[in-house]
Amino acid sequence: MAEVILKVENMKKYYELSRGLLSFKKPDVVKAVDGISFELHEGEIIGLVGETGCGKTTTGRVVVRLEMPTGGNVMFKGKDITKLEGDELREFRKSVQMIFQDPYESLNPRFTIFKTLTEPLIVNGIGETYEERVDLAIKALEEAGLKPGEEYIGRYPHELSGGQRQRVAIARALIINPKFIVADEPVSMLDVSIRSGVLNLMLDLKEKYNLPIIFITHDIAVARYMSDRILVMYLGKVVEEGPTESIIFDPLHPYTRALLSAVPVPDPERKHERIPIKGDIPSPINLPPGCRFASRCVYFQKGVCDVKDPELREIKKGHFVACHFVEKILSGELKPTGEVKAQA
């Protein structure tokens, strides 16, 4: 087994909503992430998948310590990152980098590409001389597919296309040799013909440097392309986790099954079979007890699903599901109930 780089245990992140100065009621709480655990191994890409508000971005921000968790542990190489201070914290910051969604916002428009790339070097004390930093910057650009690097180094972000900007963002992340990367929807702002180039670049870099990546996306097809393992999140919890192909071809949780059946496929002759799901995502404020998916689940069982929160259980090798009735659903013993809308 490859070395564990990051270990997240029962991590929670709650946000309190402010209620105004003179309110004496207890504030409402949004449980953005409510007890999730996973391990990130050397040379592995984990896909964090889910709809808006499922907590995938919050998870990404906590594991790089842009936010402090409300509870649980985040261990990086055996040390709890929430307890790091001073030099140790600085060392951690050097080991992790983030790639953001919008390359139009994440690069400083008044910095040249050179300044964008050398800032992290200076902050982290890498590269003794100016010449050395120039070399590193050029190397990073070429690594990110912007060749020749000299040609790009003096430019400003507005002189580059979206795809090129995202490549600069990747170069900036790579330049300090991080131990792992969190990429939050790195291609969702890019045009289709540009997107696959950036995805391939990230895959190649992972191969070359054995670099672990947490890849956050709402696009399951992209997650499948990129990841070795997929974690499906719903309202702050992981509902299903497993090897990518096992999740894609053999989804077990009613939510994952509905989600996958809703993904459009570029085949006009396919007969689209949909797995039903009720209503919309409920408000994440003050969620009721029990399974979070209960209100939308067509297999909902009163007395169980609205009482007990299901734990993740290993149903197949390496494939975990958080559902009380997954076996009965799969065997067909439990039939879907409630309104199922007509199909086109």
Partner 1 sequence: MVLLSVQDLTIHYKVASGWVRAVENVSIDVDTKETLGLVGESGSGKTTLAYAITQLLPKNAYVKGGKIIYQGKDLLKLSMKDDGTLDIFNEEIRKIRWKDISMIFQAALNAFNPVYKVGDQIIEAIMAHKDIKYEDARKEVERLYEFVGIPKDRIDNYPHEYSGGMKQRAMIAMALALSPRLVLADEPTTALDVITQDRILLEIQNLQKETGISMILITHDVSVVAEVSNKVAVMYAGKIVEKGSTVEVFKHYAHPYTEGLMASFPTIVGEKRRLASIPGSPPDLVNPPKGCRFHPRCPYAKDICMEQEPPLIEISPGHFTACHFARELYGGK
Q: How do beta strands 229-234 and 45-49 pair?
A: parallel
Q: Binding segment for partner 1 among 108-116, 122-130, 135-143, 213-221 (CB under 8 A)?
A: 213-221
Task: Restricting to residues 143-202, name those near partner 1 by CB under 8 A.
Answer: 161, 163-164, 191-197, 199-200
Report the residue from 77, 79, 272, 308 that binds partner 1 according to the rule CB under 8 A: 272
Core vs surface per residue 158-190: b (16+ CB within 10 A) or e: eebebbbbbbbbbbbbbbbebbbbbbbbbbebb
Report the residue from 65, 139, 218, 328 that binds partner 1 according to the rule CB under 8 A: 218
**Helical spans, DSSP H, in 291-332:** 326-331
How wide is the angle at C-alpha 141 spanned by C-alphas 138 and 145, nearest 5°?
135
- Nearer residue to partner 1 within complex by CB, 163 or 186: 163
Q: Binding segment for partner 1 among 30-38, 90-98, 265-273, 319-327 (CB under 8 A)?
A: 265-273
Q: Binding segment for partner 1 among 98-106, 146-154, 266-274, 324-332 (CB under 8 A)?
A: 266-274
- Rounded to a whole number of angstroms, the minimum distance from the CB of residue 201 to partner 1 is 9
- Give whole-number Cα distances, 235 to 259, 260, 280, in Å: 14, 17, 12
User: Can residue 248 be called a binding residue for partner 1 (CB under 8 A)?
Assistant: yes
What are the beta bridge partners of residue 231?
A: 48, 241
Report the residue from 14, 156, 209, 225 that binds partner 1 according to the rule CB under 8 A: 225
Task: Restricting to residues 89-128, name those near partner 1 by CB under 8 A.
Answer: none
Core vs surface per residue 195-211: b (16+ CB within 10 A) or e: beebbebbeebbeeeeb
Task: Restricting to residues 14-73, name those near partner 1 by CB under 8 A.
Answer: 51-52
Report the residue from 265, 331, 332, 335 that binds partner 1 according to the rule CB under 8 A: 265
Q: What are phi and psi of 320, to 5 degrees?
A: -110, 145
- Rounded to a whole number of angstroms, the minimum distance from the CB of residue 192 to partner 1 is 6
User: How many chain residues are in contact with partner 1, going by CB under 8 A?
Assistant: 45
User: Can residue 78 be called a binding residue for partner 1 (CB under 8 A)?
Assistant: no
Report the residue from 20, 78, 109, 268 that binds partner 1 according to the rule CB under 8 A: 268
On whether the CB atoms of residues 2 and 57 are closer than 8 A, the answer is no
- Nearer residue to partner 1 within complex by CB, 263 or 285: 263
- Rounded to a whole number of angstroms, the minimum distance from the CB of residue 94 to partner 1 is 31
Whether the CA torsion 198, 55, 227, 254 is positive or negative: it is: negative
Rounded Cα distance, 156 and 150, in Å: 13
Q: What's the DSSP call for residue 233?
A: E
DSSP 195-224: HHHHHHHHHHHHHHHT--EEEEES-HHHHH
**Contact positions vs partner 1 (CB under 8 A):** 51-52, 161, 163-164, 191-197, 199-200, 218-222, 224-225, 245, 248, 258-270, 272, 274, 277, 280-281, 341-344
